[in-house]
């Protein structure tokens, strides 16, 4: 039987709204927009937020009336629910957009070239932006986070290896503990390191103390993400290694871990982005500084979040603007890390 030519038959989607219905929807939407100012005057609300609120109410009513006309009264709950769900999503995006926009606009004016090349050693807090900079904070953050990474990567990967390769009797306990550790409040981590290093061991406020405090917060992220990544490595690889006569440690070190390389890198970047913006643990451990301190092992040191925080506490307008500048640098750093981690994890799929 010859194959019949069906090319003249066009696929359709009759369940979608047709143009007439879409036009009516659009008209109702427009009506809600136009009626908003009218209703706005009737209520004590004002400003953009008040207008948005009124608009949402009107649009919901319009949408609900449309559903009732089209499909009867029983669809009231369905269309109200749908409107509320759309509203919820908008409510999530609104503060995010506001935060990003504010940091960008307020911080942009405060960031000049000298922000990256100078520190605040000789600058008064109320000096204009063309003097002084955040170099000490940037360097400090870099040093502290680097040390924290050096501490956390081996420990985190080892923890993950314990959970995936050895699976000892304490597997569930360890997994639970890692989860518990991710819930430790940042201030408690700082307090703990303060207690151990600075009070008990007499170490001075220093970058290394801050790094230890950050490690407590970074370790669970690195361990958990590494575990996820290692679990994804198919068992065939391990079996191939063992079947060739390799010992377990060789299999792990030379087959499994290299296969998970990019995933572990993602885990590290995620951990870094988690702690780069932490303020509270650093408050208690590094004290902050106005000059560059290239030695993380001794002496107070600055860091971006702490820099931002202290400037804000001064209450001076110029200092607060400088704080926004610091916030912008910090946010940019965190966003770059976040996007990099996403790209890495997306690529390996």
Partner 1 sequence: MDTQPTKIAGRTQNQRGLPMSGSNPVKSLAAVASGARVANKFTPGSGLEANGVHAWFGKHHALADINLEFPANTVTALIGPSGCGKSTFLRTLNRMHEFIPGAAMAGEVLLDGRDIYEPGSDVTKIRLKIGMVFQKPNPFPSMTIGENVLSGLKLAQLKIENKDEILEECLTRAGLWKEVKDRLGAQGGSLSGGQQQRLCIARALAVSPEVLLMDEPCSALDPGSTLRIEETIRELADSIIVVIVTHNMQQAARVSDYTGFFLSDGGPGQLIEVATTNEIFSTPRDKRTEDYVTGRFG
Partner 2 sequence: MTTTQTSYNGVVPKAREITTQPRFSDKVFRFVVTSGGFTSLIILSLIAIFLLQQGFPVLKDMGFGFITGFEWNPGDVDNGVPVQFGIGAMLIGTLLVSVIGLIIALPIAVGTALFLTYYAPDWIKKPLTITVDLMAAIPSVIYGLWGFFILMPHAVYWAKLLHNYLGFLPFFKMPADVFERSPFIAGIVVGIMIIPIITAISREVFSQVPLDRIQAAYALGATKWTMIRSVVLPFGSSGVAGGAMLGLGRAMGETIAIYLVLNIYFAPNFQVLFSAGGNVASLIVSKFGEAGEYELRGLMAAGLVLFIVTLLVNFLSNAIVKRTSRTGK
Region 20-49 residues binding partner 1, contact defined as CB under 8 A: 21
Interacting residues with partner 2 between 54 and 83 (CB under 8 A) = 75, 77-78, 81-82
277 binds, among partner 2, partner 1, none (CB under 5 to 8 A by kind): partner 2
Q: Binding partner 2 by CB under 8 A: which of 37, 128, 185, 258?
A: 185
18 binds, among partner 1, partner 2, none (CB under 5 to 8 A by kind): partner 1
Residue 301 pairs in a beta bridge with: 287
Q: Contact 213/236 with Cβ under 8 angstroms?
A: no
45 binds partner 2 (CB under 8 A): yes
Nearer to partner 1, 74 or 169 (CB): 74
Interacting residues with partner 2 between 78 and 107 (CB under 8 A) = 78, 81-82, 84-89, 91-93, 95-96, 98-99, 102-103
**CB contact set of 161 (below 8 Å; sequence gap of 6+):** 230, 252
Nearest to 226 by CA among 139, 140, 163, 305: 163
Q: Contact 337/276 with Cβ under 8 angstroms?
A: yes
245 binds partner 2 (CB under 8 A): no
9 binds partner 1 (CB under 8 A): yes
**CB contact set of 277 (below 8 Å; sequence gap of 6+):** 304, 305, 330, 334
Please state, in angstroms and as integers, the Cα–Cα distance from residue 252 to each residue in 45, 161, 175, 233, 340, following that order: 64, 9, 20, 11, 26
Q: Binding partner 2 by CB under 8 A: which of 21, 204, 249, 348?
A: 249
Residue window 137-156: x/- pattern of binding to partner 2, with contact defined by CB under 8 A: -----------------xx-
Q: Contact 325/107 with Cβ under 8 angstroms?
A: yes
Phi and psi, residue 132, nearest 5°: 75, 175
Nearer to partner 1, 80 or 242 (CB): 80
299 binds partner 2 (CB under 8 A): no
**CB contact set of 35 (below 8 Å; sequence gap of 6+):** 58
Residues near partner 1 (CB under 8 A): 3-4, 6, 9-15, 18, 21, 70-72, 74, 77
């Amino acid at each position: 039987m010859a194959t019949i030519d069906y090319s003249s038959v066009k696929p359709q989607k009759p369940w979608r709204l047709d143009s007439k219905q879409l036009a009516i929807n659009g008209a109702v939407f427009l009506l809600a927009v136009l009626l908003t100012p009218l209703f706005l005057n009737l209520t004590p609300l004002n400003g953009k937020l008040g207008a948005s609120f009124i608009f949402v109410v009107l649009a919901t009513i319009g949408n609900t009336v449309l559903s009732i006309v089209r499909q009867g009264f029983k669809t009231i709950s369905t269309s109200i629910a749908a409107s509320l769900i759309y509203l919820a999503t908008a409510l999530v995006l609104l503060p995010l957009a506001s935060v990003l926009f504010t940091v960008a606009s307020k911080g942009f004016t405060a960031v000049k070239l000298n922000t990256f090349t100078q520190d605040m050693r000789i600058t008064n807090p109320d000096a204009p932006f063309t003097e002084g900079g955040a170099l000490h904070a940037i360097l400090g953050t870099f040093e502290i986070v680097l040390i924290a990474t050096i501490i956390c990567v081996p420990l985190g990967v080892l923890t993950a290896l314990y959970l995936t390769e050895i699976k000892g009797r304490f597997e569930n306990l360890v997994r639970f503990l890692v989860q518990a550790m991710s819930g430790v409040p940042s201030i408690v981590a700082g307090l703990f390191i303060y207690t151990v290093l600075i009070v008990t061991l007499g170490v001075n406020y220093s970058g290394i103390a801050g790094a230890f405090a950050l490690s407590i917060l970074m370790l669970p992220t690195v361990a958990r993400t590494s575990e996820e990544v290692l679990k994804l490595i198919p068992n065939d690889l391990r079996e191939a290694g063992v079947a060739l006569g390799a010992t377990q440690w060789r299999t792990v070190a030379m087959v499994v871990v290299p296969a998970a390389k990019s995933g572990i890198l993602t885990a590290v970047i995620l951990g870094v982005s988690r702690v780069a913006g932490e303020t509270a643990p650093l408050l208690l451990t590094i004290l902050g500084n106005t000059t560059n301190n290239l030695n993380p092992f001794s002496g107070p040191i600055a860091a971006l979040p702490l820099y931002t925080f202290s400037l804000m506490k001064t209450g001076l307008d110029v200092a607060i603007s400088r704080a926004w500048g610091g916030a912008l640098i910090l946010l940019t750093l965190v966003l770059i890390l976040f996007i990099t981690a996403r790209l890495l994890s997306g690529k390996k799929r």
